[in-house]
Amino acid sequence: MAARILHRLRHALAGEGGREEPAGGGGEAEDCPESSELEDDTEGLSTRLSGTLSFTSHEDEEEEEEGDGASEELEECQSPRPGGSLLTRQLQELWRRSRGSLAPQRLLFEVTSASVVSERSSKYVLYTIYLIRSGQFDKAPATIARRYSDFEQLNRRLRCRFSCNMASVAFPRKRLRRNFTAETIAKRSRAFEQFLSHLHSIDEIRRSPEFLEFFFLPDLQAAQRLTCTGMYREALATWANAYRLQDRLGVCSSGRFLLTLAGLAVCHQELDQLSEAHGCCEQALQLLEAQGSHPLLGPFLQAHVHLAWKVGKDKRRSEARLQDLREAGLPLQQQPSLKECLIKEPLE
């Protein structure tokens, strides 16, 4: 319907431009290109762009991108004729309704690459996904690398726990053949982006451990192993990515996040990056400010006092808090160090 209205509007403008400037009438009509988003099915448009599963070709995506500029061009295509103005207003109203029906996405999921991995007994596609905050520029991206079976396990776990919420969530089915063709990989890449976006749009699922740990638990486990084996530089990069993932997902006050800060502090200290280690301890202590007791409070305070002395920063507040813990009966001499806490923490 909207496409027909736009077609009539273009002809009206072309005819009118022809009377005023016969040589240039056709050029003005091109200023109002047809957009694939200006369809009568505005509900379908909302569904397609708000995270439900759909397979689109590169041509479809290019048309959708061109649609972003259509509203501004339509604003300029005003006709002095009453009929032309009415058609323009109808199109503008349709555009506003369709745009207003879209759920705002605060976090975007983008598959940036997919590679075929061949191992001794298996062959699979590994998808690299960036987590991007909408409207912001991230200097260092938060990334994950997952295969189809990882997504399938997440889908299965969520359907067991959130059967009602998951009823409207589509998931790409398994294929027995042609799993490694460029077409299949491209379609699945798009499908996984929209699958994650749809899950993230549901409050109960977005906050669930199943959804959150799909992103950062593998990095925490890998970083812990690297730290235990003394590979601090490699561990630091993995802890840092886990930090960014939790930051993007909005879980910067959880126990996992405190453990991540502990990992960063330990690796920075082992690499003689004392200012960075001190900053991690300060951030952790700010999060622990309101907590009277926490397994990591004593270790963080002791590490902060030591690092503050090393870098010449004020340590009096941490010393006062340690004194309060002693007076409360906490045996600080028996407290494990931050590194010992990190190594002993079970991550399952």
pLDDT tens column, 148-174: 999 999 999 999 999 999 999 999 998
**Position 23 in a domain:** no
Judgement on whether residues 159 and 197 belong to the same structural domain of the protein: yes
- Within a domain: 56: no
pLDDT over 70 (residue 229): yes
Q: How far is CA 173 from CA 149, 168, 295, 347, in A?
A: 11, 15, 44, 31
Q: Is the predicted pLDDT of residue 20 greater than 90, yes or no?
A: no
Q: Do 243 and 337 sit in the same domain of this protein?
A: yes
Domain end call among 207, 241, 276: 207
Question: Do residue 245 and residue 330 come from a single domain?
Answer: yes
Mean pLDDT of 176-182: 86
CATH of the domain at 241: 1.25.40
Domain count for the chain, please give it: 2
Counting residues of the chain whose pLDDT is more than 70, the rounded percentage is: 70
Q: What is the pLDDT of residue 104?
A: 45
112, pLDDT greater than 90:
yes
Indicate if 173 and 259 belong to the same structural domain.
no
Residue 48 lies in a domain: no
Separation of alpha carbons 113 and 109, rounded Å: 12
Q: Looking at the structure, do residues 276 and 199 belong to the same domain, yes or no?
A: no
193 and 243 co-located in one domain: no
- Asked whether residue 281 is domain-assigned, the answer is yes
Average pLDDT, integer, range 306-311? 96
**pLDDT confidence tier of residue 34, bands split at 50, 70 and 90:** very low
List C-alpha distances in Å: 149 to 19, 107, 155, 174: 63, 23, 10, 10
Identify the band that residue 316 occupies on the pLDDT scale cut at 50, 70 and 90: very high
Q: Residue 151 belongs to a domain with what CATH number?
A: 3.30.1520.10
Q: Is the pLDDT of residue 25 over 60?
A: no
What are the residues whose beta carbons fall under 8 Å from the beta carbon of 336, sequence distance 6 or more?
299, 344
Give the pLDDT confidence score for residue 73 in this predicted structure: 38
Position 54 pLDDT exceeds 80: no
Residue-range definition of the domain harbouring residue 338: 232-347
Asked, for residue 99, whether it belongs to a domain, the answer is no
Of the candidates 301, 200, 304, the one whose C-alpha atom is nearest the C-alpha of residue 251 is 200
Instruction: Tell me what pLDDT residue 225 has.
Output: 97
Residues 236 and 180 in one domain: no
Q: Note whether residue 84 is domain-resident.
A: no
pLDDT at residue number 89: 59
In Å, how far are 52, 186, 252 from 283, measured between CA atoms?
37, 41, 10
Asked whether residue 80 is domain-assigned, the answer is no
Least confident of 47-51, 223-227, 233-237, 243-247: 47-51
Per-residue pLDDT, 332? 78
* For residue 347, pLDDT beyond 60: yes
Assess whether 111 and 202 both reside in one domain. yes
Question: Looking at 190, 207, 224, which one is the last position of a domain?
Answer: 207
Structural domain contains residue 25: no
Within this chain, do residues 239 and 343 fall inside the same structural domain, yes or no?
yes
Cβ proximity of 70 and 124 under 8 Å = no
Q: How far is CA 272 from CA 25, 263, 275, 301, 310, in A?
A: 70, 14, 9, 19, 11
Of the chain, the percentage scoring pLDDT greater than 90 comes to 57
The pLDDT assigned to 93 comes to 59
Give the highest mean pLDDT range of 68-72, 277-281, 344-348. 277-281
202 and 162 in a common domain? yes
244 and 150, same structural domain? no
Query: pLDDT band at 78, cuts 50/70/90?
Result: very low
Domain end marker among 207, 223, 252: 207
Q: Mean per-residue pLDDT for 30-44?
A: 34
Min mean pLDDT across 133-142, 155-164, 282-291 is at 133-142
Asked whether the whole model's pTM tops 0.95, one would answer no
In this predicted structure, the answer to whether residue 275 has a pLDDT above a threshold of 60 is yes
> Same domain, yes or no, for 237 and 203?
no
